[in-house]
Amino acid sequence: MAFPLNAPRASAALGAVLAATCSHAADVQLSIELPRLKHRPYVAVWLERGDRERVADLALWHEGAKPRREGKKHKDKGDKYLHDLRHWWRSGGSMLQTPVDGVSGPTRPAGVHRLQFEAPLAQLPAGSYRLMVEASREDGGDEVASFAVEWPPRAPQELRQQGRKELGEVVLELRP
């Protein structure tokens, strides 16, 4: 089971493992292009080990529960469609209690969105990982971009993938 590394309540075992590892400072920037489509996609960004065990949730954009307005019928989708992020859901997203402070956020409109990760990765043990980006939308498909990453990065890297429909260009920049 994976926990967001910046969650307020981490397990004691995870805390002990993180405390035993040395800190690896690095700059990680992710640029996600969302094409203009009928509905805004749900997007999940997470880090997993080579054995596909989820290590950290970095971002989760979804339509959060909205307050009901008195006298109005309101469709409260909340977390209802999170299971459409199939890869993320199967990797342990189904066990995650949303919203997650510092990770969850609303869906984003079409355009390029830049994320920067420092704190969630600062205590990450050295090793081989995969940074996963998944997008899924109502009445649409599901698309995953995956980047192999050696942590900590030894040299600056820029990795790119071009999406087909649900994602535009996804760019991962690593700097030691």
Query: pLDDT by residue (tens digit) across 114-160?
Result: 999 886 688 889 999 999 999 998 777 899 999 999 999 999 999 99
Asked whether residue 15 is domain-assigned, the answer is: no
CA distance 52 to 5: 17
CA distance 169 to 106: 20
Question: How many domains does the chain divide into?
Answer: 1
**pTM score, two decimals?**
0.79
Asked whether residue 105 is domain-assigned, the answer is: yes
Asked whether residue 2 is domain-assigned, the answer is: no
Asked whether residue 7 is domain-assigned, the answer is: no
Asked whether residue 10 is domain-assigned, the answer is: no
Asked whether residue 12 is domain-assigned, the answer is: no
Asked whether residue 39 is domain-assigned, the answer is: yes
Nearest alpha carbon to residue 120 among 13, 20, 27: 27
Asked whether residue 134 is domain-assigned, the answer is: yes
Q: What is the pLDDT of residue 138?
A: 78
CA distance 87 to 20: 30
The range of the structural domain enclosing residue 167 comes to 23-175
